[in-house]
Structure 1
Amino acid sequence: MALTTREQSEIDAANDSGRPPVVFVHGLWLLSSSWDRWRRLFEEAGYATAAPGWPDDPETVTEARDNPDAFAHKMVQAVTDHYLEATGKLTRKPAVVGHSFGGLIAQKMAGEGAAAVTVAIDPAPGRGVLPLPASALKSGSPVLGNPANARRSVTLTFDEFKYGWANALEDDEAKALYDEFHVAASGVPIFQAAVANLNPFSETKVNFKAEGRGPILIISGEKDHTVPHAIAHAAYKKHAKNAAVTEFTEIPERGHSLTIDHGWQEVAQTSLDFIRKHGGTA
């Protein structure tokens, strides 16, 4: 899938700037605009940023809500390939920051040698990540509860969003985030993750042993229901066998909404500090 005009312009601007680039990868139920505050922080710190969407993503939340079917059928490898196309057009290898399924995609990109340094925040599980806590099953149940959702886009109810994303927040903030950010999402990646360990050819496979993978940081939200500690830490343990720098940190009292809620800046600064330390100083 070719880059959109916006995506190409962000890549061109990053190349023209001469600054070290950072590419942001969003996950399900968000758009690339969910990274806007992060991008401002990183740009103020001297980086050039780009935030491609998933293929055929609407550009705005309003457009996304008017056309929820646009999200159906998007699979993990096709999305990964779209981001690899974007990073391949950069003149410098970027740092890559991803959240949730974006965190899984960021790891896949690292395994392809496409990232100078990687931060995966509450990453969806790849093949070989075995823990499956009850809260993760419950968070996935709005999709996995109906096999037909593998061919559909799925919109969470507020109660489902509250459990899976905003369980660490007060109701007022949870509702505000739902109203501002939440959009429909493709159901199929969740099915891909759910059966990954039964499928040796799963698109969720990460090359944990890749040479030249670069440094990687796994960030976990302590209270995340969707990607609990056990899943994030299992990914860290798989990566820790790689010769490259591998670190893990847990942000206390935070759920899956940690990239967009009131505490986003702590997570962003943690990511920025790791990139500065291991990916060069802007």
Structure 2
Amino acid sequence: MADTVVLIHGAWLTPSVWDRFRQRYEAAGMTVIAPPWPCFDRPIDALRARPDPRLARLGLRAIVDHHAALVEALPHPPILIGHGFGGLVAQLLLDRGLGAAGVAIASAPPFGVAPRPPALWTALPTLFGWNRVLRLSQRSFSHGFAQTLPAAEKSYVYEKFVVPAPGRIFVETLFGIGTRLRGRTSARAPLLLIAGAEDRTAPPGMVRANHRRQRRAPSVTAFHLFPGRSHWLCNERGWEDVADRALGWAVEHTR
């Protein structure tokens, strides 16, 4: 059984978004690694005030390669769990034959999965971000990321977690640049796709469409929907259920 979990954060965030998952998994006896993306290895205040200039040119391939090198250096294949763009990175790593099992939570879509209207609307400000560092406004975060949070919590969460992101990754995902999966020929490990029923960034219909495509792979592919959850489902009320479902399924299906 795999005893190591690699947690992959998504756009606009840092590894601190995984603190609750990390503590819960470590208490269960797992070794947990939550690496930052390239250009994200600084305190949140520094990332906001002085983003690394290289961030403007950071693409998905570099992010996936960065995580692949980390996974390949481990003594045994780990469980891969990603959220948002981190979920897409996890799928691309699995497609390379890495990992013992994978969970993609509210994942950005791979090539061939069309973004649904709510996702397009939420992502609209990012579509002119090639070679730019983008900032997510508090209004956009409140509407597209965490609309199910109580109003009093939204400002606190935004200030604690949200940082600039590379605009290139949004354009690449929209046009399917570097996000194609091999489908029937993939030797990937088992994969669970998780969606939040109220998610406006990765709507459940989009995650279901991804599930249908991923089922072409010969290994196990599963889907789970959490009712009443937004894109912030890894940290909003009931996050424990998401954490336990992800790890429990992955441990059960580890190849």
Alignment TM-score > 0.5, same fold = yes
Q: Distance in 2 between matches of 1:142 and 1:262?
A: 28
Residue matched to 1:49: 32
Pairing of 1:143-158 with structure 2 (within 5 A): 143-144=126-127, 147=128, 149-158=129-138
**Partner letter of residue 46 of structure 1?**
G
**Partner letter of residue 238 of structure 1?**
R
SS at match of 1:72: helix
Is 1:225 the counterpart of 2:200? The answer is: yes
Structure 2: any 5+ residue segments left out of the alignment? none
Residue matched to 1:107: 91
Instruction: Quote the RMSD (CA, aligned, Å).
Output: 1.6
Q: Deviation at 1:180?
A: 0.9
**Partner letter of residue 222 of structure 1?**
A
Q: Distance in 2 between matches of 1:110 and 1:194?
A: 21
Q: 2:154 aligns with which of 160, 169, 174?
A: 174
Pairing of 1:115-134 with structure 2 (within 5 A): 115-130=99-114, 132-134=115-117
Q: Distance in 2 between matches of 1:192 and 1:19?
A: 32
Residue matched to 1:96: 80
Q: Distance in 2 between matches of 1:171 and 1:261?
A: 12
Residue matched to 2:13: 30
Residue matched to 2:123: 140
**Partner letter of residue 232 of structure 2?**
S
8 Å contact kept, 1:143–1:187: yes
State the aligned residue count.
254
Identity among equivalent pairs (%):
33
Q: Distance in 2 between matches of 1:188 and 1:58?
A: 19
**TM-score calculated relative to the size of structure 2:** 0.95
Residue matched to 1:5: none
Q: 2:166 aligns with which of 174, 186, 191?
A: 186
Structure 1 moving runs of 4+ over 4 Å: none
Structure 1: any 5+ residue segments left out of the alignment? 1-17, 197-201
8 Å contact kept, 1:156–1:184: yes
Is 1:74 the counterpart of 2:58? The answer is: yes
Residue matched to 2:42: 59
SS at match of 2:237: coil
8 Å contact kept, 1:69–1:152: no
